[in-house]
Amino acid sequence: MGKGFCVLFKKDCRMLVSGKFFLMAVGFLALYTVYVNLGYIRFMQMPPYNVYLYDPAGTQTEKSSLVQVVPSMEAMDAALFSDANGVGLDASAGDVRVVLYKGAEHVDCHRADYALSLLRPFTGSAPEIIGTNTPEQKARKEITCELLFFELAAVGFLGIAAVLFKEKGMGVICVHAILPLRKELFLLSKLAVFLLSDLAFAVPLTLLNVGVTDGAAILPAVLLQTTILSLIMALVGLLCALLLKDFRQFTLVYLMIAIFAATPVFLSANTSIKFDWIGYHPFYHVYMGLKNAYFGTDISPAYYAGAVGIIVLLFLMVRLAFQREIGKEG
């Protein structure tokens, strides 16, 4: 049994190498790392809006260095025209007047308050800081978590389905039906290859983007959640590939999963939007499991029990679909 598994494992690795899957994974890792370190983190450290001040009499003496002084109202109009999210402050008539292009009302209020706050030094009491993460650490963990979830849910899911569709197309599945090996091994070897590939991806992604010290501390928890998500997505991918006729049908299902399954999860987990029903969405719990792992938050044992149950159930469904597929061919 062990030998058969090794042979299948080696063959699946070769399939992925010839399909440039590992090369793609390395490419994605490099792309994500460049995006996080050279793009996202810098972007998060930038002020939310540019503030332009027209103050010919020089009345605003305590303004922040973030405020950009313009020489005339025409210059301010020009600045706002090219930067529609910017906020203008006109202090030419004594009182400060806010000038901006209209957007959503609550956002406009925030823009105006922020711009006005830059004209005076901070005088309020310092808020109590909860948690130990600096804003940069928080941003790094959030974005790394999102990228890992995307990689596992989308790229890994597509990858395993692509491999199985390829084997279906070549007809070799039915050859395995008459080989002296336990048929489950055919599925288990694929799961193992993709799981190891996902784990190998999660390690550098976390260390390079969260930081070596912080990343190493959370790595065991992240790898545990990666294992859960990787197995679930690989099994869903296998099931779809076995039940659907071709890759075109699969792409439609994938789009539906992306739109109806992933979008509400991201919205609920990362924004103030809350859906009443999101607690019933299985992906929400898996995503939150990963996010909790990045932030070192405890995860309920019920979640693990549910995850194991879903993985076992999915495996049984995949095995049944595989038996049907074997019977169909040849």
Q: Which of 262, 261, 239, 241 is nearest to 251 (CA)?
A: 241
Q: How far is the CB of 173 from other proteins (least distance, A)?
A: 8
Distance CA 111, CA 13 (A): 53
Residue number with CB closer to other proteins (7 or 223):
7
Q: Which of 219, 231, 200, 234 is nearest to 308 (CA)?
A: 231
Q: Which of 154, 230, 32 is nearest to 162 (CA)?
A: 154
Residue number with CB closer to other proteins (5 or 295):
5
Residue number with CB closer to other proteins (71 or 180):
180
88 membership: H or E segment, kind and range:
strand 87-93
Q: How far is the CB of 167 from other proteins (least distance, A)?
A: 8
Q: How far is the CB of 161 from other proteins (least distance, A)?
A: 17
Q: How far is the CB of 15 from other proteins (least distance, A)?
A: 7
CB 283 within 8 A of CB 265: yes
Q: List residues binding other proteins (CB under 8 A).
A: 3-4, 7, 11, 14-15, 18, 170-172, 174-175, 177-182, 326-327, 330
- Give 247-301 as a 3 state SS string: HHHHHHHHHHHHHHHHHHHHHHHHCCCCCHHHHHCHHHHHHHHHHHHHHCCCCCH
Q: Can you point out the beta strands (E) in the chain? A: 51-54, 67-69, 87-93, 95-99
Q: How far is the CB of 177 from other proteins (least distance, A)?
A: 5
Q: How far is the CB of 23 from other proteins (least distance, A)?
A: 15
**Residue 54 DSSP class:** E
Distance CA 261, CA 309 (A): 20
Residue number with CB closer to other proteins (177 or 192):
177
Measured in residues, the chain has a length of: 330
Q: How far is the CB of 10 from other proteins (least distance, A)?
A: 8
Q: Phi first, then psi: what are they for 52, rounded to 5°?
A: -115, 130
Residue number with CB closer to other proteins (174 or 261):
174
67-69 and 51-54 as β-strands: parallel, antiparallel, unpaired?
parallel
**Residue 84 DSSP class:** T
Residue number with CB closer to other proteins (181 or 199):
181
Residue number with CB closer to other proteins (83 or 325):
325
202 membership: H or E segment, kind and range:
helix 183-210
Residue number with CB closer to other proteins (63 or 168):
168
Within 10 angstroms of residue 149's Cβ, the number of other Cβ atoms is: 23
Q: How far is the CB of 19 from other proteins (least distance, A)?
A: 8
**Tokens 């992604």 map to which residue?**
205
